[in-house]
Amino acid sequence: MGTPDFAVPSLTALVDFGCQIPLVVTQPDRPHGRGRKLTPPPVKKAAENMGLAIAQPEAAKSEAFYQTILDYQPDLLVIVAFGHILPKRILEIPRYGAINVHASLLPKYRGPAPIQWAIINGEQATGVTTMLMDSGLDTGEILMAAKTEIRTDDTAGSLHDRLARAGGDLLRQTIAALEAGTLQPRPQNHGETIYAPMLKKSDGRIEWSQTAAKIERQIRGMNPWPLAHCFYEDLRLNIFKAEVRPATQDAAPGTVIPGFSKELRIATGRDALSILELQAASGKRLSIDDFLSGMHIPEGAVLI
């Protein structure tokens, strides 16, 4: 059971490991893009390419979905970023339980956006965890975990791809240990819980009164969605990449201050931020050199 790109390496790992997969469950096709064309989720595309049977329930709590899973009598459920909360009666069907692959080192960063918040909060490492699912939100007993360094240039996108691959590898190790009878589930320390709430578009709005280091992490954590952004007059600017630099003069946060030639250096609550890649509304993503060649933002201008 899975839906987005993050779940595809786990499905591939199950197939490569030789698991019998009688059914792949994913979310329904959804409208996507400017044309709002119905688009299948990545897991459905992968399952079709593998010749696997697919179910796309609208509601995981429906009687019809429960009967579908009951009819298959699976030995094991594997859930990876499915997007539905499964009721207890479904989790109780398989004789070996339900294994979830989660993109954090639990109990840190439970919830739907663990990758983004780990970067935003300045964690130096994160990872993937396999756990036995229970009726709580990412609260089940831990089976195995694999740690990954967060690089100083990691975006949510680059870290997502690395953790997706690590999740597939860890899932294969977990099932091998399950078959060998060597798995020893351990309870989570709930006192160490950190929650990672779903991101909203408004989370990308830059508050220049924060430190430059915190804003730089926000920029990386919001890339590729919802993108960190601010406004110059009425023009929205999406920021893709920036570096922390010294403040060359005292100025109110958000003010453009002196920097090198072809540099856009912004005062913050502490230090300054040099914008390296950005995009004006409806425009292309550009390096700062190319952007400033077509648009001048003078010293003393204020970004909000």
The length of the chain is 304
Q: What is the mean pLDDT of the chain?
A: 97
Average pLDDT over residues 198-213: 97
Co-location of 214 and 162 in the same domain:
no
List the CATH number of the domain containing 76.
3.40.50.170
Question: For residue range 123-151, what is the model confidence (pLDDT) as tens digits?
Answer: 999 999 999 999 899 999 999 999 999 99
Give the DSSP H/E element, type plus range, for residue 146: strand 142-149
Residue 116 has pLDDT above 90, yes or no: yes
Number of folded domains in the chain?
2
Question: Residues 6 or more apart from 78 whose CB is under 8 A from it?
Answer: 1, 2, 10, 14, 98, 99, 100, 101, 171
Co-location of 41 and 138 in the same domain:
yes
Q: Which two tokens stand for residue 204?
A: 């990308």
Quick one: pLDDT band at residue 34, thresholds 50, 70, 90? confident
Q: Tell me whether residue 300 is in a domain.
A: no
Co-location of 115 and 73 in the same domain:
yes
Co-location of 184 and 244 in the same domain:
no
Co-location of 169 and 61 in the same domain:
yes
Q: Which two tokens stand for residue 76?
A: 């094991």
Co-location of 84 and 215 in the same domain:
no
List the CATH number of the domain containing 283.
3.10.25.10
Share of the chain above pLDDT 70, in %: 100
Residue 197 has pLDDT above 90, yes or no: yes
Higher pLDDT, 34 or 163: 163
Co-location of 134 and 273 in the same domain:
no
Share of the chain above pLDDT 90, in %: 96
Q: What is the pTM of this model?
A: 0.96
One-character DSSP codes across 197-254: PPP-GGGGB--TTSBHHHHHHHHHHTTTTT-EEEEETTEEEEEEEEEEE--SS---TT
What pLDDT was estimated at residue 282?
82
Residue 138 identity (one-letter amino acid): D
What pLDDT was estimated at residue 26?
98
Q: Tell me whether residue 55 is in a domain.
A: yes
Q: Tell me whether residue 301 is in a domain.
A: no
End residue of a domain, out of 147, 171, 192 = 192
Residue 152 dihedral angles phi and psi, to the nearest 5°: -70, -20
Co-location of 37 and 181 in the same domain:
yes
For residue 33, the tally of other CB atoms under 10 A from its CB is 7
Co-location of 185 and 217 in the same domain:
no
Q: Tell me whether residue 230 is in a domain.
A: yes
Co-location of 40 and 188 in the same domain:
yes
Domain span holding position 235: 202-294
Question: Residues 6 or more apart from 106 whose CB is under 8 A from it?
Answer: 129, 131, 138, 142, 145, 188
Co-location of 13 and 143 in the same domain:
yes
Co-location of 26 and 173 in the same domain:
yes
What pLDDT was estimated at residue 35?
85
Question: For residue range 146-189, what is the model confidence (pLDDT) as tens digits?
Answer: 999 999 999 999 999 999 999 999 999 999 999 999 999 999 99
Q: Tell me whether residue 63 is in a domain.
A: yes
Q: Tell me whether residue 299 is in a domain.
A: no
Q: Tell me whether residue 197 is in a domain.
A: no
Q: Which of 100, 5, 18 is nearest to 44 (CA)?
A: 5
End residue of a domain, out of 192, 223, 240 = 192
Quick one: pLDDT band at residue 207, thresholds 50, 70, 90? very high
Q: Which two tokens stand for residue 18?
A: 């030789």
Cβ proximity of 268 and 215 under 8 Å: yes
End residue of a domain, out of 174, 192, 210 = 192
Q: Which two tokens stand for residue 226?
A: 């919802």
Residue 289 has pLDDT above 90, yes or no: yes
